[in-house]
Amino acid sequence: MFGRNCDDAEGSILSFLRKAKSTRDLFLIVYNFTPVCRHDYRMGAPRGGSWKEVLNSDAKEYGGSGQGNFGGIEAAPVPLQGRSHSLTLTLLPLGVVFLKSEG
C-alpha cells in the first residue's frame, strides 16, 4: 500500500507517508524546498476520499502568506507514481503541508 516516497528531485519536492497505530490514521507530508509556490502539483496517494490539511507552514498564524489547500482536498481515482489515486496540491514556498486521510 505504501510503496516508495513520491520524491521529485528536479522540483526539490520531498514527501512521505506516515501511519499511526493503524493504517486508518494515514498522513501524507510534503515539503517544497523552493521559494516558488507550486499550484496544481499532482502527487500519488494510496487511497481515495478526503484528505484534511492539518498543518500548513505557510498559514497566517505562522507568519506566512496564507496559501494552501483550503483545509483539505479530495483524492481523484487517477493512478500516479505507483499509487491508486492522486491529489492536486498547492505546495507552499519553502514550506511543508501535512494531510490526513479521512477515508
Confidence of residue 21 (pLDDT cuts 50, 70, 90): confident
Nearest CA-CA partner of 73 in 55, 91, 96, 49: 49
Each residue's pLDDT tens digit, 48-91 = 999 999 999 998 888 888 888 989 999 999 999 889 999 999 99
Instruction: Map out the domains of the chain with their CATH numbers.
Output: 13-101 (2.60.40.1180)
Tell me what pLDDT residue 5 has: 58
Predicted TM-score (pTM) above 0.95: no
Phi, psi values for residue 99, rounded to 5°: -120, 135
Query: Rounded mean pLDDT of the chain?
Result: 88
Section 8-36 average pLDDT: 88
Secondary structure (DSSP) of 23-86: TTSEEEEEEE-SSS-EEEEEEEESS-EEEEEEEETTSGGGTS---SSTTEEEEBS--BTTBSEE
